[in-house]
Chains A and B, each alone.
Chain A
Amino acid sequence: MTKKQTVQGRRAPFWGVLPAGGLVGVFFFLPLALLLWRSFSEPSLGLQNYTELLGDPTAKTILIRTFVVAFTITAATVLLGYPYAYVMTRVGPRARTLLMAIVLIAFWNSLLAKSFAWIIILQDSGPLNDLLKALGLSPVHLLGTQAGVTLGMIQVLLPFAILPLYATMLTIDRSLMPAAQGLGARRSVAFVKVYLPLTVPGIMAGSLLVFVLSLGFYITPDLLGSPQNSLLSQLIGVHVQRLLDFPGAGALGASLLVLTLVVIAVAARLARGLYAVRAKDG
């Protein structure tokens, strides 16, 4: 039942939104607008901050690096998260609760704590290298490298991929795979032709989420990386904290925001396209 009529107030006043909306308006949109304005108006009115940005080779490198890292992380989390989510849908209730609890704990745990833990793990004398030595492999130097940052971020962002995937997989009729196999398809074929397409919404949602979050990540890259391999968000931080360059930071921030929105828009368009195709196939 979706009757919106209630005993009290038929046309229930919308005012309830005002306190929250007011707060968000004044302390979110306004600051952003002001920052944006500064990027366009200092030191004088114009686009110099932006042209400076475009001309700066460091900024370009960082931008490309940020995208590459985001792509890598997205691919990795989806690849790892897929089997985990799949297993979650297929096991018994107790195992599922356990797996879910692990994801939730990993998800809600302090980001700083996780990043700090990775510092420990990745340090030259840390447990990762201990493990590698025990396996007879040569130790790696990961702390302060892009690889280390990527690795850490994968672990941190993995739950964000698992949850949407799981949610989508839950909606898939469990009798579809046996039905496909009953019609003569081998398991791998049934998987690719029947199951995988149905999970695409979850894959898209998870990928988008992880990608967007990766673009804006600050803490983990800053702790696990080094100045030589900063990401975009760190650059923004540097502009403000070291250079007190708000206009520049504003320009960077605006660019980052625009990029994020573009990615979301592209994904939305893709999703709609996919749905349309599926609908046509009946």
Chain B
Amino acid sequence: MEPMSESATETGLRLEEVTKRHAAMTTPAVADVSLAVREGEFLTLLGPSGSGKSTLLRLIAGFTSATSGRVILDGRDFTTIPPYRRNIGMVFQNYALFPHMSAVDNVAFGLRRRKVNRREATRRALEALEKVDLAGYGDRRPHELSGGQQQRVAVARAIVFGPRLVLMDEPFGALDRRLREGMQLEMMRLHEDLGMTFIFVTHDQEEALSMSDRVAVMNEGRIEQVGTPLDLYEHPASRFVARFLGDSNLFSGQVDAPGRLETVTGQHRVPADAGRGECSLLVRPENARLVPPGTPTPEGVNRVGCTIEEIAYLGARRRVVVRFESGEQGIVSAPARGPEELRVGDRPYFEWKPEAGHLIEHEPAPLDQAGVEVG
């Protein structure tokens, strides 16, 4: 990492080897995290519970202080600066709306702290409420609003004063599915509209993939990978990322010769310069297909024998769970109506093209069930 300097022209948020260790615990909640967030982007911190994503967000907000490392915003070291001087907007999972104030007073709170006079603050607050589709609800108290409405007030409150960053800590966790999807779209629209930098925390990978410009996948306090949703899905840098985002088939083995992966399920072709040493080969379910036994092997295609264990009809496609001779499970996403009938107990070939696979270099891990994340 090149030496970081504090420049006056730098914009955006930068985290430098930030670590947060709670006194009693030996494993840090956040370990050596370095991240650069670009101006105006929608970045999601994605990970399972305990991965440190919420802690990291709170570090950015200033609610808790880093044990070591730096938080730099627009070139200024913010590490020790308290929240009320960071000019950030935060949306909490439980909304945290002040119960003794009306919606409009809640929204105007940040403006009033910044010495905006009452009339102007109210006006802008009402505007913000309109922006989140809550025109006319200004005089209601939080307990008179539904969950979705409270959430929108929380968002309005966080953005009305034009903060540098907007932070959101699993804001849609408490909403039901339809509401959540609606709010996701609204959030994306809002982001477009406002052009502010959004940092979003969630454990829901679908949410992360659909909303974000970039995603940072976190696990046990570290960032495993940062990239666009496409990058992460198609080229995960680790088994964890591969398993966390979508279903996966992972074959572990050794690349002992260029282009060849030796695994328990046999030898597979991989692109020549894909990697070496201990690796896992990722094949996404939609890139694999099942062909009936006896079909001749096309040139250059990888194949593994398997038995169909389960078929789930999902309307648009079928999710087929198979078991390989080696004992692990695999998943194939098959069309709803295929040329052949698939039945539980059948023994087709699991087949994919080498280019469709992605090789992950890393330390070996025990063979796992495809699609099910561990820890």
Q: Which residues B48-89 have CB closer than 8 A to chain A?
A: 63-64, 82-84
Q: Which residues of the other chain, B, contact A5 by a CB distance below 8 angstroms? A: 63-64
Cα A191 to Cα B152 in complex, Å, equals 49
Cα A7 to Cα B90 in complex, Å, equals 14
Cα A5 to Cα B82 in complex, Å, equals 13
CB distance from B112 to the nearest CB of A (A): 18
CB distance from B101 to the nearest CB of A (A): 18
For chain A, what secondary structure do more than half of its interface residues adopt (helix, strand, loop), or is it mixed? loop
For chain B, what secondary structure do more than half of its interface residues adopt (helix, strand, loop), or is it mixed? loop
Q: Which residues of the other chain, A, contact B84 by a CB distance below 8 angstroms? A: 7
CB distance from B46 to the nearest CB of A (A): 22
CB distance from A254 to the nearest CB of B (A): 43
Q: Which residues A1-45 have CB closer than 8 A to chain B?
A: 5, 7
Bitwise interface map of B from 134 to 166 toward A, beta carbon under 8 Å scored 1, else 0: 000000000000000000000000000000000
Q: Which residues of the other chain, A, contact B63 by a CB distance below 8 angstroms? A: 5, 7
CB distance from B204 to the nearest CB of A (A): 20
Q: Which residues B82-100 have CB closer than 8 A to chain A?
A: 82-84
Cα A226 to Cα B64 in complex, Å, equals 66
Q: Which residues of the other chain, A, contact B64 by a CB distance below 8 angstroms? A: 5
Cα A113 to Cα B82 in complex, Å, equals 56
Cα A92 to Cα B82 in complex, Å, equals 50
Cα A5 to Cα B64 in complex, Å, equals 8
**Chain A residue at smallest Cβ distance from B94:** A1
Q: Which residues of the other chain, B, contact A7 by a CB distance below 8 angstroms? A: 63, 82-84
Cα A5 to Cα B83 in complex, Å, equals 14
**Chain B residue at smallest Cβ distance from A6:** B63
CB distance from A6 to the nearest CB of B (A): 9
Cα A7 to Cα B83 in complex, Å, equals 8
CB distance from B343 to the nearest CB of A (A): 42
Cα A3 to Cα B64 in complex, Å, equals 11
CB distance from B182 to the nearest CB of A (A): 27
**Chain A residue at smallest Cβ distance from B64:** A5
Cα A7 to Cα B96 in complex, Å, equals 15
**Chain B residue at smallest Cβ distance from A10:** B65
CB distance from A1 to the nearest CB of B (A): 8
CB distance from B130 to the nearest CB of A (A): 31
Cα A5 to Cα B20 in complex, Å, equals 14
Q: Which residues of the other chain, A, contact B83 by a CB distance below 8 angstroms? A: 7
Cα A171 to Cα B18 in complex, Å, equals 45
CB distance from B135 to the nearest CB of A (A): 32
Cα A278 to Cα B304 in complex, Å, equals 55
Cα A5 to Cα B84 in complex, Å, equals 16
CB distance from B94 to the nearest CB of A (A): 8
CB distance from A3 to the nearest CB of B (A): 9
Cα A7 to Cα B84 in complex, Å, equals 9
Cα A7 to Cα B62 in complex, Å, equals 8
**Chain B residue at smallest Cβ distance from A1:** B94
Q: Which residues of the other chain, A, contact B82 by a CB distance below 8 angstroms? A: 7
**Chain B residue at smallest Cβ distance from A5:** B64
Q: Which residues A215-238 have CB closer than 8 A to chain B?
A: none
CB distance from A166 to the nearest CB of B (A): 26
CB distance from A10 to the nearest CB of B (A): 8
Cα A7 to Cα B86 in complex, Å, equals 13
Cα A5 to Cα B29 in complex, Å, equals 15
Q: Which residues B242-292 have CB closer than 8 A to chain A?
A: none
Q: Which residues B173-210 have CB closer than 8 A to chain A?
A: none
Q: Name 6 A/B residue pairs within 8 A (Cβ), A-sorted.
A: A5-B63, A5-B64, A7-B63, A7-B82, A7-B83, A7-B84
Interface residues, chain B, CB within 8 Å of chain A?
Answer: 63-64, 82-84
Question: Top 6 nearest A-B pairs by Cβ distance?
Answer: A5-B64, A7-B83, A7-B63, A7-B82, A5-B63, A7-B84
